[in-house]
Amino acid sequence: MSPIFLQELDVDFLHAQFAHHPPTIWALLAAAVVAGGVVRGLTGFGAALLMAPLFSLVMSARDTLCLITVLNVLPLSPRSMRLAWQEMDASVVRPLSLAAVVGLVPGMWLTTQIPGAVFGPLVGFGVMLSALLLMTGARLPDIRSVRASAAIGSVSGVLTGFSGVGGPPAILYLMGIESNPYRARANFVIFFALLYPVSCAFLVLSGLMPHSILLAGALLFPLFHIGGGLGVRLYRNIGRRLLRRLVLMLLLIAGAVAMLPFLRDPAGFMKTISVHG
């Protein structure tokens, strides 16, 4: 695959991607980005979980992965990053992050092997399953150790490299070992703040990241940042239980929307899998 600097710069990315779609698709993209920012500001995670199934409706697997990664590269608020850095548990976040970085490469390879028709419903199913698990209050037991952090980090890294959605294993693990909700949120914030920039660098160096996606990310990041600011304000003023329910309902809806191709034609979906299997 050619390096990114040899790729042709397509400044008409949005037009090329969505010219054959009605204006509602543009609205969906913008709404998904704002909502993703709100979720990230509220919880410190979840933006990719919300955006991936919606992006996959109108974008390829590679472009979905790349755009989610670009949007998550920068912290929404330097102040919140400083506070999270002070609150986090470095003994957990460090091995979790290092193992996740190692898992990125096989995850990115998987993205190139999955047919586009399968990617969206697959991600949608994973998002719905994750939301349902979190709704039940499920969490991994308190198995705090370097080995456990490394194992969970590896799985999270593969999933991040595959779809940009690597949060659920890390989230369930961090919730299981951390009773302090503020420290748990700080761990989420720092983990993803470390993981996404490395993922973006890997995508650029491997040639998987088109210039056009970088342009799209730059155009859409202000919306993501606005949503993040709203999320931070809501985090300060809304009860955690209500906040959690709203976020999980959004994730369920987004996952269900991404699964529509499978729900409409299950037989055709399975045939696609068998053909590419």
For the residues of 152-196, what is the DSSP string, one character each? HHHHHHHHHHHHS--HHHHHHHHHHH---HHHHHHHHHHHHHHHH
Residue in 23, 174, 172, 22 with CA at minimum distance from that of residue 93: 174
What are the sequence ranges of the domains in the chain?
Answer: 4-276
Share of residues in the chain with pLDDT > 70 (%): 75
pLDDT digits (tens, 9 = 90+) for 138-173: 666 667 788 888 998 998 898 888 777 777 788 778
Q: Lowest-pLDDT range, 53-57, 187-191, 224-228, 254-258?
A: 254-258
Q: What is the pLDDT confidence band of residue 268, given thresholds at 50, 70 and 90?
A: low
pLDDT score of 5 = 38
For 106, phi and psi rounded to 5 degrees? -60, -30
On whether the CB atoms of residues 66 and 163 are closer than 8 A, the answer is no
Q: What is the pLDDT confidence band of residue 243, given thresholds at 50, 70 and 90?
A: low
Statement: residue 244 has pLDDT above 70: no
pLDDT score of 95 = 94
Statement: residue 85 has pLDDT above 50: yes
Share of residues in the chain with pLDDT > 90 (%): 10
Statement: residue 215 has pLDDT above 70: yes
Q: What is the pLDDT confidence band of residue 3, given thresholds at 50, 70 and 90?
A: very low
Mean pLDDT on 243-265 = 68
269 or 95: which leads in pLDDT: 95
Mean pLDDT on 60-86 = 82
pLDDT score of 73 = 87
pLDDT score of 232 = 77
Q: Lowest-pLDDT range, 112-126, 198-212, 260-274?
A: 260-274
pLDDT score of 8 = 43
